[in-house]
Amino acid sequence: GESVGLHLPTLSVQEGDNSIINCAYSNSASDYFIWYKQESGKGPQFIIDIRSNMDKRQGQRVTVLLNKTVKHLSLQIAATQPGDSAVYFCAEPPRIKAAGNKLTFGGGTRVLVKP
């Protein structure tokens, strides 16, 4: 069945360094992924998404890479800042469009930025 999972539960990174958060998925037919950021005491917030017809997508200081061969995606944060400290989730909506959008979330990775 479908599942989305993460390799690292916690990532400590020095301020200014780059962060890489990994996510693995099991369904080779998966075609769309979303990254969410959840700051302490807040709800998850959309960061960036990627479709399976792309290998890479860039946003502001964030880049998502998709490797369909090994069913792996990663979120890279450039020049990590204290405000990047949060839990990051990869998520996948169902392939069949429906009124609802049952997101399947990965287990999350906590990023701790050290000053």
In the complex with other proteins, the residue whose CB is nearer, 43 or 115, is: 43
HSE-CB of 95 using CA atoms within 13 angstroms: 9
Choosing from 19, 23, 25, 44, the residue that interacts with other proteins (CB under 8 A) is: 44
Strand ranges across the sheet with 56-58: 4-6, 19-25, 72-77, 62-67, 56-58
CA–CA distances in Å: residue 75 to residues 8, 43, 100: 12, 19, 26
Choosing from 62, 73, 87, 113, the residue that interacts with other proteins (CB under 8 A) is: 87
* 60 in contact with other proteins (CB under 8 A): no
Please report, as ranges, the residues that interact with other proteins according to CB under 8 A: 32, 34, 38, 41-46, 49, 87, 89, 93, 97-103, 105, 107-108, 110
